């Protein structure tokens, strides 16, 4: 698997994402026959998704290279803090609707699982695989894969217009997450930020699993906000030292990096 990832990094990254979508699609179809709540089915699906990502990272021996590190530069982390403006604005504008304690806890767990699985796959495995093609290209392609992966929502009842907006927002968010991942050198801040955004978004809808269906001019607001989020993430990418990813460039030795 690792030699293939080295020879065909973009194809490997795309295949890893597509396989995850196939697994999720099959799970959604299979769980549809069980008498479980939508939230219960979603938690099971995300648990399997997390297992897939963990297995992939273990098989590739990329836990460290994918950013799962214990140490982090607090100075660099401070430069990532402006990205918290997005979830803060989401909280101020949408608020958190009342729900039972069990519902809030369940969605908090779900948000953490989604953050780990999606960041671990896209900003972990996929981004790491494509880094030898160039950090900027890897960041943009991984963000594109992340956005297009949300097309799966069409099979879960979301409208085409709402899904298109979600794809655009996901691509922009992906650039921001990539900036955090690359600049900080750790994937944990991206996981935390991703989970926080998902949790606040769920809270603004009353902690229910209901895909948006109606698109109005108000959609320009999240597009603008996520665009600013992406712009700052791109700025962080431009500030990432070349030496921080030089060991992943062609001709380098992965073994030397501790993989």
Number of domains in the chain: 1
Q: What is the C-alpha separation between 153 and 149, in angstroms, rounded?
A: 9
**Residue 164 counted as domain residue:** yes
**Residue 258 counted as domain residue:** no
Q: How many CB atoms lie within 10 A of CB 188?
A: 19
**Residue 256 counted as domain residue:** no
- Supply the range of the domain harboring residue 45: 2-251
Torsion of CA 218, 219, 223, 224, to 10 degrees: -10
Q: What is the C-alpha separation between 172 and 182, in angstroms, rounded?
A: 16
Q: What is the C-alpha separation between 218 and 7, in angstroms, rounded?
A: 45
Q: What does the pLDDT look like over 59-104, one tens digit per residue?
A: 999 999 999 988 888 899 999 999 999 999 999 988 899 899 999 9
**Residue 153 counted as domain residue:** yes
**Residue 31 counted as domain residue:** yes
**Residue 223 counted as domain residue:** yes
Tens of pLDDT, residue by residue, the chain (259 residues): 778 899 999 999 999 999 999 999 999 999 988 989 989 999 999 999 999 999 999 999 999 999 998 888 889 999 999 999 999 999 998 889 989 999 999 999 999 999 999 999 999 999 999 999 999 999 999 999 999 999 888 877 778 888 888 899 999 999 999 999 999 999 999 999 999 999 999 999 899 887 655 445 556 778 899 999 999 999 999 999 876 665 444 444 443 333 3
Cα radius of gyration (the chain): 18
Cβ pair 257, 65 in contact under 8 A: yes
**Residue 115 counted as domain residue:** yes
**Residue 152 counted as domain residue:** yes
């Amino acid at each position: 698997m690792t030699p293939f990832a080295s020879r065909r990094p973009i194809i490997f990254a795309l295949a890893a994402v597509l396989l995850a979508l196939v697994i999720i699609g099959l799970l959604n179809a299979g769980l549809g026959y069980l008498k479980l709540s939508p939230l219960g089915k979603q938690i099971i699906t995300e648990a399997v998704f997390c297992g897939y990502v963990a297995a992939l990272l273990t098989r590739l021996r990329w836990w460290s290279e994918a950013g799962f590190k214990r140490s982090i530069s607090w100075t660099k982390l401070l430069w990532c803090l402006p990205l918290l403006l997005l979830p803060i604005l989401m909280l101020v504008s949408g608020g958190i609707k009342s729900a039972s304690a069990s519902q809030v806890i369940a969605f908090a767990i779900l948000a953490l699982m989604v953050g780990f699985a999606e960041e671990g796959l896209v900003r972990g495995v996929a981004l790491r695989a494509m880094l030898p093609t160039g950090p900027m290209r890897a960041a943009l392609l991984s963000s594109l894969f992340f956005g297009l992966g949300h097309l799966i929502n069409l099979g879960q009842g979301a409208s085409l217009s709402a899904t298109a907006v979600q794809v655009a927002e996901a691509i922009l968010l992906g650039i921001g997450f990539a900036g955090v991942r690359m600049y900080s050198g750790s994937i944990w801040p991206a996981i935390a930020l991703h989970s926080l955004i998902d949790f606040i978004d769920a809270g603004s809808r009353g902690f229910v699993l209901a895909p948006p269906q109606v698109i109005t001019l108000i959609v320009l607001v999240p597009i603008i906000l996520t665009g600013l989020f992406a712009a700052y993430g791109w700025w962080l990418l431009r500030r990432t030292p070349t030496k921080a990813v030089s060991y992943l460039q062609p001709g380098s030795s992965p073994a030397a990096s501790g993989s």
